[in-house]
């Protein structure tokens, strides 16, 4: 299988390991990236890892993914709860999308309990810590086999 996917990360996820460890654990962004690359290689597909703190940059990355990738795994972080622009960009991507959150957003503050993208993605994983990324990669492989 020669599928290519992209894992897109929103604001502040570059500071994993340093920020709110009670919510996000102690794994660093670099280590998370390394684990994801290893898992994807093991499953036989190519993965690109992207992160931005800037909403418009994330929109550009999603738009450009249309012609480059077979699937998107996205942790839009705080923009999950606010960004119609990211929602609209994802809605144009007509291939599998997995929404991911490290923490359980439904157990947290009220403003985090609303995702603007859940109803347009293929499926989602939340509250399972950084392992969620590995589970998302496995699920994406299955979605792309269909």
Binding stretches for ligand DQA (CB under 6 A):
12, 75, 77-78, 80, 101-103, 105, 112
Task: Return d(Cα 105, Cα 114) in angstroms, integer.
Answer: 8
Compute CA 48 distance to the chain's CA centroid, rounded to the nearest angstrom: 11
Instruction: Respond yes or no: is residue 81 known to be catalytic.
Output: no
> Closest CB to ligand DQA among 4 and 82?
82
Residue nearer to ligand DQA on the CB measure, 46 or 123: 123
Residue 113 token pair: 């309990």
Spot the catalytic one: 24, 29, 69, 133.
24
**CB of 51 or CB of 65, closer to ligand DQA:** 51
Q: What's the min distance (Å) between Cβ of 78 and ligand DQA?
A: 4
Rounded to whole angstroms, what are the CA distances from 46 to 6, 49, 84? 8, 10, 29
DSSP 3: -
Active site residue 29: no
Q: What does each C-alpha distance from 18 to 14, 56, 123 come to in angstroms? A: 9, 25, 28
For the bound state, the minimum distance from the C-beta of residue 12 to ligand DQA, rounded and expressed in Å, comes to 5
Instruction: For residues 96 and 133, give the distance between their C-alpha atoms in angstroms, rounded to a whole number.
Output: 15
Catalytic residue, chosen from 29, 69, 101, 133, is 101
Active site residues: 24, 101
């Amino acid at each position: 299988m020669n599928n290519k996917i992209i894992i897109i990360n929103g604001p502040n996820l570059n500071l994993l390991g340093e920020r709110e460890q009670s919510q996000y654990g102690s794994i660093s962004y670099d280590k998370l990236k390394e684990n994801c690359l290893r898992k994807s290689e093991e499953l036989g597909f190519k993965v690109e890892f992207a992160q931005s703190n800037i909403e418009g940059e994330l929109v550009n990355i999603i738009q450009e993914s249309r012609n480059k990738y077979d699937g998107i795994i996205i942790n839009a972080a705080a923009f999950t709860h606010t960004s119609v622009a990211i929602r609209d960009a994802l809605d144009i991507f007509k291939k599998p999308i997995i929404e991911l959150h490290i923490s359980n957003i439904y157990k947290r503050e009220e403003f985090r309990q609303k995702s603007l993208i859940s109803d347009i993605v293929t499926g989602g994983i939340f509250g399972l810590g950084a392992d969620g990324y590995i589970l998302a990669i496995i699920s994406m492989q299955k979605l792309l086999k269909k």
